[in-house]
Amino acid sequence: MDTEMGIVWKANIEKMYSDLAEIEVGFFPPEVEAKIKKGLDEVRAAKIDFCREGRRALARQSQLEASSVGDDQTSEVIDTNEEIRGGSKSLDAPGQIMEGLLLAH
């Protein structure tokens, strides 16, 4: 450690140790420490529950959106099938359009 870099490094380390020596360290009594630990555990458990509920709500919303999209598509297909079968008086099926054209002339 006789190089310039070694001397600078050693001076920095000695300075950090002297700064640490000046810091006062406070310890909590075991009861208070247990209380803090219990509080942190409760916060952690609440966070896990909150995330779990959020994922469940998101999954439910995705399922509802998927089922509503599926219902819309299904109802459109049913409506189209009814129109083609003659469930309505409109001229939507190709055969009905041709009949309408022939009857018009």
pLDDT along the chain (105 residues), means of 10: 86 94 86 94 96 95 85 58 53 54 54
What CA–CA distance (Å, rounded) separates 62 from 45?
26
What CA–CA distance (Å, rounded) separates 48 from 53?
9
pLDDT given at position 69: 74
Are 66 and 74 in contact by the 8 Å Cβ rule? The answer is no
